[in-house]
Amino acid sequence: MESVQALAERIIDNVERVIVGKRREVQLVLVALLCRGHVLIEDVPGVGKTVLAKAIARSIGSTFKRIQFTPDLLPSDVTGVSIFNQRTGQFEYRPGPVVAQIVLADEINRATPKTQSALLEAMEEGQVTVDGITHRLPNPFIVLATENPIEYEGTFPLPEAQLDRFLIRLSLGYPGARGEVEILNRQHFAHPLDRLEQVVGVDELLAGQEAVKHCFVDDALKEYIVAIVGATREHDDVYLGAGPRGSLALYNTARAWAAMQGRDYVIPDDIKALAEPTLAHRIIVSPSARMKNVDGRTIVREIVMNLPIPGARPVASRSERTMGWRGARGAGTNS
């Protein structure tokens, strides 16, 4: 898995020339790229959501399109239209901006539910259907969507069916004081995004995606993943928990995370690291819990903290708090 680790480091180091102090968030986006999944970047204005998406796209030699979602945007503005060609006497498909390898759906919650639904088929099946004819989308096809969670006027919340299609949801947050000073210094003369260069080709990314599939996951860890997802359905503060798509998301992202660390096997820490960004947005919290400011992130953190890790056992009386893991190929970690 050294090739995947090297690939990830090249992209992350390049993106960090633009995004300051957000290495874990950049890593999560890269995990989604390696899993051929979509990312929802949710945060307040001005923290770099759009810049992050653009930096990722520029680091990879792929086709890139941006869709600025507005209330008057129509589904055909996203998927494309069929136009009658008088010379040939046939209808011809004119692709919309969704036909690209990396699509930036900027402020996705500003579009109406009808327009948002135009992405459902594309995100799940990698195709769009226009006038009864299905058109395949390029490979890879990845949507990087942004939204502002605190602005409600003129916005339409994403339906649960669309939220569930995002592999990962993340927030950037404000930079630290030193990081903000560094941002000022870097943009003294020009935005660093203007000078960002490609560091990885599409073929390399596709090879990395295939390599991740060979990462080993022990049966006990598969049961651990299912137990975490199952706990979201039984929690007292949850109205509707994560479905099987959540289990698949956690399974695949854990393999990608392990590969990015240079391992060809998954350990419990990989699963714990990816549980919140892959499951929290799939949980519908009960009304009574929302009144207590409980959200999906809080619930997933509580589940991961309290759920026993399979195979954990005391390894020495002198250090009873140290837990050992007998996993794949004798790997060891402290949990």
Average pLDDT, the chain: 86
Residue type, 89: G
Contacts of residue 291, defined as CB under 8 A and 6 or more positions apart, other chains included, come to none
- Asked whether the beta carbons of 202 and 79 are under 8 A apart, the reply is no
pLDDT at 301 over 50: yes
| Nearest by Cα to 166 from 42, 44, 261, 260 | 42
What is the reported pLDDT for 160?
85
What is the reported pLDDT for 326?
44
Kindly state the tokens that stand for 178.
Answer: 């030193």
- Asked whether the beta carbons of 182 and 20 are under 8 A apart, the reply is yes
pLDDT-wise least confident of 52-61, 125-134, 153-162: 153-162
Q: What average pLDDT does this structure show over 216-242?
A: 93
Contacts of residue 129, defined as CB under 8 A and 6 or more positions apart, other chains included, come to 79, 121, 135
pLDDT at 332 over 50: no
What is the reported pLDDT for 187?
86
What is the reported pLDDT for 61?
82
- Asked whether the beta carbons of 79 and 128 are under 8 A apart, the reply is yes
The better pLDDT of the pair 148, 164 is held by 164
What confidence tier does 331 reach under pLDDT thresholds 50, 70, 90?
Answer: very low
pLDDT at 322 over 60: no
The stretches of the chain forming alpha helices (DSSP H) are 2-15, 23-34, 49-59, 75-79, 113-116, 120-125, 160-163, 177-186, 202-212, 219-234, 244-260, 268-279, 287-291, 296-306
Kindly state the tokens that stand for 326.
Answer: 């007998």
- Domains contained in the chain, CATH given: 1-214 (3.40.50.300), 215-329 (1.10.8.80)
What confidence tier does 273 reach under pLDDT thresholds 50, 70, 90?
Answer: very high
Beta bridge partners of 64: 102
- In angstroms, the Cα distances linking 115 to 71, 89, 224 are 9, 30, 38
Sheet of strand 102-106, all strands in order from the earlier edge strand to the far edge? 64-68, 102-106, 142-147, 39-42, 168-170
Question: For residue range 243-266, what is the model confidence (pLDDT) as tens digits?
Answer: 999 999 999 999 999 999 999 999
Q: What average pLDDT does this structure show over 15-24?
A: 89
3-class secondary structure, 31: helix
What is the reported pLDDT for 150?
65
Q: What average pLDDT does this structure show over 110-117?
A: 89
Q: What average pLDDT does this structure show over 195-222?
A: 92
Residue 321, burial from CB neighbour count under 10 angstroms (0-12, 13-18, 19+): exposed
pLDDT-wise least confident of 50-54, 236-240, 318-322: 318-322
Cα–Cα distance, 298 to 181 (Å, whole number) = 31
Cα–Cα distance, 206 to 267 (Å, whole number) = 24
Cα–Cα distance, 204 to 200 (Å, whole number) = 6
Question: For residue range 59-73, what is the model confidence (pLDDT) as tens digits?
Answer: 988 888 999 999 999
pLDDT at 144 over 60: yes
Q: What average pLDDT does this structure show over 115-123?
A: 90
Query: Which DSSP helix (H) or strand (E) runs through 84?
Result: strand 80-85
pLDDT at 143 over 70: yes
